[in-house]
């Protein structure tokens, strides 16, 4: 079998007609290496003394798990010294992390959610890492939070890992979406699927139904129609799945289609939504669009939203194109 490792995939991308540059290649390799270390820690679980609370809170007032903190440190340590980054920002850090002066600085900004699906850590359900790569604005050597406030359309690359039955890495460099599986014996990510495509239609939806009473009218209408099944206006039955790890829910959609929704509701209205624009919505939106799907707030394309703050939250509706467009149409009808 002619196996293509992530390294070979990236080197070939560097030689392609629309080449990626060497720093971007290094950046992706370093992130993937850090994710291997996170995967090992996740797999050790209780044996590695990594489960449970860290005893601290992040900037959003959420209790941090030991693995949230550890994963954040692994990604920082791995990315500091390579010379490919100007700064990093994370869901788990109040402010951007600048590259220390003892190391060379590069032209990229790395943004990440080190461990998505925190509520699933201690119960042995799939979790993952989400990341997004932006360019550092021209002439900026010490980036501030403002330099990260770029719409998703400016992303250079995005990816996520899932630490599940197997560890996988899904990546886009803006030229389709590719899936790699971690070969633990060899210690490298191996290309296992090129050019993932999300079916335009689906009969599967993902939403936290416990928030139903808080939803806005367009979401109430859409879900009610799905639940009415064969007897309702859609004329067919729909199935529901909710892992409560965005990485796992999105990965299912990339594999067999579906729609994922964390919409605006009365509970999260003051915060603007539940999921984070820079660490979750934009990278997943980029990946989903690159796979032929759509990603919307219900009112606009996620990737076109101009961020105002680093930790900004946003409503997220993404997946199979025709379903996302239907939800957006219901919002437009009011
Ligand atoms: P996290 O980044 O703190 O783990 O939070 C994000 C997660 C998503 O992975 C998931 O879709 C959502 O929160 C689940 O929320 P809920 O527990 O309300 O169902
Ligand atoms: Mg998250």
- Residue 65 forms beta bridges with which residues? 53
The yes-or-no answer to whether 6-193 and 204-333 have a common fold is no
Residue nearest to atom 11 of ligand 1 (CA): 246
Atom 5, ligand 1: residue with shortest CA distance: 117
Residue 2: band (very low, low, confident or very high) from pLDDT cuts 50, 70, 90: confident
- Give per-residue pLDDT as tens, 173-198: 999 999 999 999 999 999 999 999 99
Asked if residues 5 and 189 have their Cβ atoms less than 8 Å apart, the reply is yes
Taking the centre of ligand 1 as the mean of its atom positions, its distance from the CA of residue 92, in whole angstroms, is 14
Give yes or no for residue 113 CB within 6 A of ligand 1: yes
Percentage of the chain beyond pLDDT 70 is: 100
Q: How far apart are CA 169 and CA 183, in angstroms?
A: 11
Q: How far is the CA of 264 from the centre of ligand 2 (A)?
A: 17
pLDDT band at residue 1 using 50, 70 and 90 as cut-offs:
low
Cα(282) to centroid of ligand 2, in Å?
Answer: 12
Q: pLDDT tens for residues 237-291?
A: 999 999 999 999 999 999 999 999 999 999 999 999 999 999 999 999 999 999 9
Nearest atom (ligand 1) to Cα of 249: 11
For residue range 123-142, what is the model confidence (pLDDT) as tens digits? Answer: 999 999 999 999 999 999 89
Ligand 1 centroid to Cα of residue 7, in Å, is 31
Tens of pLDDT along 3-59? 999 999 999 999 999 899 999 999 999 999 999 999 999 999 989 888 998 888 888
Average pLDDT taken over every residue of the chain: 96
Report which of residues 150 and 66 the model is more confident about: 150
| CA distances in angstroms from 226 to 233, 237, 327, listed in the order given | 8, 7, 12
Q: Which residue carries 């390294």 as its tokens?
A: 7
DSSP state of 32: H
Q: CB within 8 A of 15, min separation 6: which ones? A: none
Question: Measured from the CB, is residue 282 less than 6 Å from ligand 1?
Answer: no
DSSP conformation class of 174:
S
Name the CATH architecture for the domain at 6-193. Answer: 2-Layer Sandwich (3.30)
For the CA of 275, the closest atom of ligand 1 is 6
Cα separation, 281 vs 138, in Å, equals 25
Lowest mean pLDDT of 58-72, 180-194, 304-318, name the range.
58-72
Token digits of residue 49: 């003394």
**Residue 57 CA to chain centroid, in angstroms?**
21
Q: Which of 54, 275, 313 to mutate to test the pocket of ligand 1 (most atoms within 8 A of CB)?
A: 275
Strand partners, 275: 314
pLDDT of residue 16: 92
Give the separation between CA 88 and CA 81, rounded to whole angstroms. Answer: 12
Q: What is the signed CA dihedral for 110, 136, 297, 197, rounded to 10 degrees?
A: -60
Residue 306, CA atoms < 13 Å, CB-side half-sphere: 1
Architecture of the domain defined by 204-333: 3-Layer(aba) Sandwich (3.40)
The average pLDDT across 315-325 equals: 98
**What is d(CA 253, CA 316) in angstroms, rounded to the nearest whole number?**
14
Residue 56 has a pLDDT of 87
| E-strand stretches of the chain | 53-57, 63-65, 85-90, 97-98, 108-116, 127-135, 157-163, 167-172, 177-183, 188-193, 204-206, 239-240, 259-262, 275-276, 294-296, 313-314, 316-319
8-state DSSP, 4: -
* Residue 290 token pair: 């690159």
Helices vs. strands in the chain: H and E counts, helices first: 7, 17
C-alpha–C-alpha distance, residues 105 and 120, integer Å = 36
| Secondary structure string (H, E, C) spanning 43-89 | HHHHHHCCCCEEEEECCCCCEEEHHHHHHHHHHHHHHHCCCCEEEEE
CA 240 to chain centre: 21
Instruction: Report which bound ligand comes closest to the CA of 283.
Output: 2
Q: Are 260 and 249 in contact (CB under 8 A)?
A: yes
**Domain parsing of the chain, residue ranges:** 6-193, 204-333
Nearest Cα neighbor of 91 from 117, 52, 54 is 117
């Amino acid at each position: 079998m002619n196996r293509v490792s992530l390294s070979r995939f990236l080197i070939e991308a560097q030689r392609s007609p629309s080449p990626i540059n060497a720093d971007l290649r290094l950046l992706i390799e370093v992130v993937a290496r850090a994710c291997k270390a996170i995967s090992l820690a996740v797999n050790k679980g209780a044996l590695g003394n990594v489960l449970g609370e860290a005893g601290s809170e992040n900037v959003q007032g959420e209790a941090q798990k030991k693995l949230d903190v550890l994963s954040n440190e692994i990604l920082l340590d791995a990315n500091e010294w390579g010379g490919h980054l100007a700064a990093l920002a994370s869901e788990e850090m109040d402010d951007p992390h600048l590259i220390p002066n003892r190391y060379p600085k590069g032209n990229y900004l790395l943004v990440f959610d080190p461990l998505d699906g925190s509520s699933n850590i201690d119960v042995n359900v799939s979790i993952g890492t989400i990341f997004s790569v932006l360019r550092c604005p021209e002439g900026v050597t010490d980036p501030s939070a403002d330099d990260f406030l770029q719409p998703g359309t400016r992303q250079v690359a995005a990816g996520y890992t899932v630490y599940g039955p197997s560890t996988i890495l899904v990546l886009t460099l803006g030229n389709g979406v590719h899936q790699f599986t971690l070969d633990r014996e060899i210690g490298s990510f191996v290309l296992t699927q090129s050019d993932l495509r999300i079916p335009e239609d689906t009969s599967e939806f993902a939403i936290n139904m416990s928030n139903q009473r808080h939803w806005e009218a367009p979401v109430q209408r859409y879900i009610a129609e799905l639940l009415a099944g064969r007897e309702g206006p859609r004329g067919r039955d729909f199935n529901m799945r909710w892992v409560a790890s965005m990485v796992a829910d999105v990965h299912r959609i990339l594999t067999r289609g579906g729609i994922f929704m964390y919409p605006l509701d009365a509970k999260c209205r003051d915060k603007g939504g539940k999921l984070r624009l820079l660490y979750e919505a934009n990278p997943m939106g980029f990946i989903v669009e690159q796979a032929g799907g759509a990603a919307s707030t219900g009112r606009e394309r996620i990737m076109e939203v101009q961020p105002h703050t680093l930790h900004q939250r946003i409503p997220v509706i993404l997946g199979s194109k025709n379903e996302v467009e239907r939800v957006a149409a219901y919002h437009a009808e009011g």
